[in-house]
Every structure is written in C-alpha cells, then in structure tokens.
Amino acid sequence: MKNFKNKEFVISVILIIATGVYVNIIKYSRVASTEVVDLEKFPEQLNNWKLIHQSTLSMQVQNVLKSDAQIMRKYVNSRGEYVWIFLAYFRDQKYGEQIHSPRHCLPGSGWNIRQNSLIKFSDAVHFNANRLVIQQNAAKEIMVYWFWTRNGIITKEYRLKFDLAFNSLLRKPTDAAFIRLNIRNSKNADVVISDFISDFFPHIKSVLPF
C-alpha cells in the first residue's frame, strides 16, 4: 500500500510539472504570421450581390475583440434580400484571450439563443458551420458562423483551443479568422445564406492566409 501511494504521488507530481510546461509552451512559444492581410480586397459587388453599407467597430468593441483586421458589411441581392457579413482576422491568438464566441457574447448584448445547430453547405463548397436562431425583443435573426485556421474550418470552441495548443507546440503560426453571417429570419433564409456563401466563399478564402 505504501509503494502504491508513493507511485501515485510521483505520477501526480509528474502530471503537474508536465501541465506547467505545456501551458508555458503554449503561452510563450507562439509564432505570429508575417503575411499581410488586407480584408478591404473583399469584393464590393459580385454576381447579383451589392455592398450597400459598411460599418466600423467602436473603440470599446475593438478593445474587447482585439482583432488585427476586420470588415462588417451589408449586402443586398437583386431580390432585395439582405445579408450582413462580419470577418475578423487575428494574427496571433493569445493564450487565455482567444476569439470571442457568439455563444458567450450574444446573451450579454441582449440577444437570446433560441436554436443551436449545425448547417451543412454542399453546393459550390463543402463544409459545416454553426447555425443559431437568435432573438432580441421582436427582432429574430439567423446567425451562421465558423472559425478558420491553418488546420481548416472549425465549428467547436474547444477545438479552437486545441488548435492553438497544437500549432504552438509545433511552432506554427497561431493566426485565425472568425466569419459570421446574419440575416433576418424567414422561410428562405437558409437558401439566401447558401447562395451568399456559394458566391463569396472563394473570396473569403482568398483574403485570408490559410
């Protein structure tokens, strides 16, 4: 019994030391991307979509977001259907200060998450994204979002943390992007989102260094 307790103690100490080393490697061994990202190259007009409004973030929001580049734009198609896109690029994810998830930010800004699921795109592009139905008073919207790193598209927040750790340990750039689309809730909202992504996905990819 004594030998068993000694072994258990030694294993516990080793695990504590290994965890400390692991955390410090992630925290202090990040490799930032040296590539220049210019999101303003994102097209203002494409097929039947046209940019009609571009917003800028307030200093308060930017201080919380801490992105290195971002655009927030509203597009309308020839049928009068609107889609908002928010695209933010982070050159160097920081340990303990990762990209803010809408799941955490929405309730704090007065929006309630009514539904939470995955949406699969399989027409011009093939990937999954998060799909939220959100509501604030009488306003009801659909939000579609995903993360993008050098290891591909990510939908789960815990996988984003793993991605940061993995790239840090391999001395790879830890940059990442957050892409969010918003549209007013309607019967054909998912179709409109799908059309928008089919047209713009190659351009989202082209302005990011992945």
**Model confidence pLDDT, tens digit, residues 54-112:** 998 888 878 878 888 999 999 999 999 999 999 999 987 765 556 878 888 888 888 99
Other beta carbons within 10 angstroms of residue 43's beta carbon come to 15
195 CB contacts (<8 Å, ≥6 apart)?
77
Given pLDDT bands bounded at 50, 70 and 90, which one contains residue 135? very high
What is the percent of the chain where pLDDT is above 70?
A: 81
Cross-strand pairs, 176: 90, 149
What is the predicted pLDDT for the residue at 1? 54
Instruction: For Cα atoms 70, 73, 79, give the angle at the middle one, nearest 5 degrees.
Output: 155
Which residue would you say has higher pLDDT here, 168 or 27? Answer: 168
Token output for 189? 């909202």
Q: Which residue has the higher pLDDT, 111 or 168?
A: 111
Note the pLDDT of residue 19.
52
Give the pLDDT of residue 64.
Answer: 78
Give the Cα separation of 77 and 33 in Å (integer): 35
